């Protein structure tokens, strides 16, 4: 999966979020129209995979927070190595969903920046739009993987949105 849909500039502060709003609207519309063609049975499977993914996301984000704070918390070198090993295992599981490590870093950074209290309205809007787009990309990849795993897979053209 590439990050061609979102550019480096999208993650830099923008005085105007109109281009990002348009991207978010486009990918939401694309995802919605694509999922309309998915059977109820397959949509249930997509939802189930997304639930499992959310559990993994919570775990890897929590571990990432601990890794980042481990030095401040006084963890020993051995404890930090164990945390790093857990992070590698979680990242391997993340990749099993068809998502890259780069995608993880973007997703994590956006979610954690949203927790900051000192954001301006424009910054908050930008981060919310980025998160919306990242969530749509995640859904597209999961839907693609579910459909590709079927006996007679349906080809989903998601390249423009990744």
pLDDT, position 11: 84
Which of 2-16, 18-32, 78-92 is predicted with the least confidence, judged by mean pLDDT? 2-16
pLDDT, position 131: 96
The residues, any chain, with a CB within 8 Å of residue 123's CB and separated by 6 or more, are 13
Contact call for residues 72 and 96 (beta carbons, < 8 A): no
Q: Each residue of 45-96: pLDDT tens digit? A: 999 999 999 999 999 999 999 999 998 999 999 999 999 999 999 999 999 9
**Phi/psi of residue 120, each to 5°?**
-80, 165
- The proportion of the chain whose per-residue pLDDT surpasses 70, expressed as a percent, equals 90
Q: Each residue of 134-157: pLDDT tens digit? A: 999 999 999 988 888 765 444 445
pTM exceeding the 0.95 threshold for the entire prediction? no
Is the pLDDT score of 159 beyond 70? no
Residue with tokens 């897979």: 153
| Residue 1 CA: distances (Å) to CA of 59, 105, 139, 145 | 22, 14, 13, 12
Structure tokens at 155: 């080809």
Q: How much is the average pLDDT of 122-128?
A: 95
Q: Each residue of 105-120: pLDDT tens digit? A: 999 999 999 998 899 9
Structure tokens at 50: 């997304």
DSSP secondary structure of 102-128: HHHHHHHHHHHHHT-TT--HHHHHHHH
Closest CA to 110 of 94, 93, 92, 123: 123
Using alpha carbons only, what angle is made at residue 94 by residues 7 and 13, rounded to the nearest 5 degrees?
Answer: 25
């Amino acid at each position: 999966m590439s990050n061609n849909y979102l550019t480096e500039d999208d993650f830099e502060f923008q005085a105007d979020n109109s281009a990002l709003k348009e991207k978010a609207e486009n990918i939401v519309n694309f995802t919605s129209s694509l999922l309309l063609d998915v059977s109820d049975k397959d949509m249930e499977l997509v939802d189930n995979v997304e639930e499992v993914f959310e559990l993994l996301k919570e775990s890897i984000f929590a571990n990432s927070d601990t890794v980042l704070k481990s030095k401040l918390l006084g963890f020993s070198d051995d404890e930090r190595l164990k945390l790093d090993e857990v992070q590698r295992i979680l990242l391997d599981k993340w990749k099993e969903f068809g998502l890259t490590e780069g995608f993880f870093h973007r997703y994590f950074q956006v979610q954690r920046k949203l927790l900051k209290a000192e954001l301006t309205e424009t910054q908050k809007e930008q981060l919310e739009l980025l998160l919306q787009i990242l969530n749509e990309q995640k859904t597209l990849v999961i839907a693609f993987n579910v459909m590709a795993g079927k006996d007679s897979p349906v080809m989903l053209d998601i390249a423009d949105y990744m």
